[in-house]
Chain A
Amino acid sequence: MEALKTPIAEILKLLLDRDWHEVYDAHCKYRLSAIEIYGSLNRLTTLGLIEVQDARMRISPSLDEVGASLINRMLKTSRPVKLREFVKTPRQRSGL
């Protein structure tokens, strides 16, 4: 999932208006590769977050609170692990 996090976030951003979009838009707008789009759509449909029909995609119309919460989480970016050493932990910040 980690390797697909950014492509998934890009696709979700595209779909937030809840309209149908061409799958191809994810390639044109974000230059995602075919395999990134394929992997992302597979995971998002498996989770029931989106639906894909005839090369078009949209947020699932039956999305519940859990789904909405998942999408919200996926849209957030995380700090790369390798940058952790440059960031103080809450304990360091508090000087304890």
Chain B
Amino acid sequence: MSIAAEHISQAALLDMMQMFDRQPWTRLLNVELVSLWSLCNTREQQVLLKDLILKFVVLDSSNEAMVCKQIDAQFKTWGLAPATTRVVAVADAGEVDGSTAGLQKLKNKITPFESWHARFYPSISASIAEISSGDSVVMFDDFVGTGDKIFKKFEWLSRIKEDLGIDFSIYCVSFAGMAFGIENIKNRCGIPVFSSIILSKGISEGMPVADVPRALEVMKEVEFQLGSRYKSKKIRDYSLGYGHSECLYFWMNDNCPNNVFPIFWWPTLRGGGIRQTLLQRAG
């Protein structure tokens, strides 16, 4: 391995310096950025990736504090009381994911936390025995993508209501979510939903309308460089992000949502080989 940096073009160098300046999290990713820029066949592709990276929303520690404070305020607005409320992560039983990690962050932020901290549950199944008629159940996820997962959990809770003959109100809360996913939940479940950070699609809703078709085409050109499969996943299911979410968001030091453009996290290359990705996603 050489100690000299890999040679890059002048435009690429200036791109990177701009990203380091406006997105401090990229400063630890010099090598990964060089690798990503090398994957591009045209300057147009590099410019698109730079524009998207500059638009990323990152849940860092200061944003974490802000979203928890806003959720606390929303609980007060909804009039939720600790004695009759269960805050439930939407993780599958026995699994650890962003919802359980987020719940731990939230645990000492809902005030007064001495009364609230015992009202948090790692999964729906862990909370069932505790729910009574007249209670409120708050489904929590750290990030809402398409909203499909929340809908499935809502259906499950609705079945519990019927099967056990108890009546309780259901709410949904998240740190961040795609605007279309949040609308999806509201329309399909008809429940109050609160997301502290609301995200629009990176290309379709983030660029002048006239530029969108070309930008989507360019992104698909870059995605063409990615391996068609990774374990049991197929890249075609994640093109532009799962559910065509075009997401530009991640929680610092946490698992990147599969709704993010795969060019930033898909680990395999067309023709074989593993790439150094900007973001990491396990599972």
Residue numbers of A with Cβ under 8 A of B are 22-24, 27-28, 31-39, 55
Secondary structure at the A interface, as helix, strand, loop or mixed, is: helix
Question: How would residues 1 to 18 of chain B score, 1 for a CB under 8 Å from any chain A CB and 0 otherwise?
Answer: 000111110101110110
Q: How many residues of B contact A (CB 8 A)?
A: 17
Cross-chain contact of A35 among B10, B12, B30 (Cβ < 8 A): B30
Cross-chain contact of A36 among B5, B6, B7 (Cβ < 8 A): B5
A37 touches B13 (CB 8 A): yes
B4 touches A34 (CB 8 A): no
Question: Is residue B68 within 8 Å, beta carbon to beta carbon, of the partner chain?
Answer: no
User: Other CB < 8 Å A-B pairs besides A31-B7, A38-B27, 9 of them?
Assistant: A23-B14, A27-B13, A33-B5, A33-B6, A33-B30, A33-B34, A34-B20, A38-B16, A38-B20
Residue numbers of B with Cβ under 8 A of A are 4-8, 10, 12-14, 16-17, 20-21, 27, 30, 33-34
Residue of B nearest to A55 (CB): B14
Task: Give the chain A neighbours of B16 by CB distance below 8 A.
Answer: 34-35, 38
B21 touches A22 (CB 8 A): no
Residue of B nearest to A31 (CB): B4
A35 touches B20 (CB 8 A): yes
Task: Give the chain A neighbours of B6 by CB distance below 8 A.
Answer: 33
Task: Give the chain B neighbours of A37 by CB distance below 8 A.
Answer: 13, 17
When chains A and B are docked, how far (Å) is the Cα of A32 from the Cα of B6? 9
When chains A and B are docked, how far (Å) is the Cα of A31 from the Cα of B8? 9
Task: Give the chain B neighbours of A22 by CB distance below 8 A.
Answer: 10
B5 touches A27 (CB 8 A): yes
Residue of A nearest to B20 (CB): A38
**Chain A to chain B contacts (Cβ below 8 Å), 16 pairs:** A22-B10, A23-B14, A24-B13, A24-B14, A27-B7, A27-B13, A31-B5, A33-B34, A34-B13, A34-B30, A34-B33, A35-B20, A36-B5, A38-B17, A38-B27, A55-B14
Task: Give the chain B neighbours of A24 by CB distance below 8 A.
Answer: 10, 13-14
